[in-house]
Amino acid sequence: MELLEKDLVYSVVGAAFEVYNTLRFGFREHVYQLALERELLARGHRVVREVKVRIFYKGIELTTDRMDMVVDEKLIVETKAAAERPKGAAEQLLSYLRATNLEVGLLLHFGPKRLDRLRLVASNEFKPHGLLDANGR
């Protein structure tokens, strides 16, 4: 079985390692996001940060939330920079996947000992109809 967006995920993880190897641990989350954005742009990717996602309940919009970034309109990237990966971080990413038509997400934790990464997939065949794209449409 072919992994969804394998080449894109590989490229983003490589960019994240470059950021981690350069900055190491200790900065706030937004610093890693900015550096990762620059690294991804330098590698030819399209990056949109702070992407708004609308959350619906029974067809009624409840609220909006913001995803850290979407790369090439295909991959959600969430970053964390605490000493330990926050509880609920994977669930947060999975919720974003369920609330959009995107199928693949990466959780990148810029931790004290190493870059921790988790790849999550939520196939569209299990999603309800009428979901939004990465641009909130």
- Tell me the domain boundaries of the chain: 6-126
What pTM did the predictor assign?
Answer: 0.86
6-23 helix and 29-42 helix, angle to the nearest 10 degrees? 120
Domain 6-126 has CATH 3.40.309.10: no
Summary mean pLDDT of the chain: 88
Helices (H), 60-109: 89-99
10-55 tens-digit pLDDT:
999 999 999 999 999 999 999 999 999 999 999 999 999 999 999 9
DSSP secondary structure code for residue 5 in this structure: T
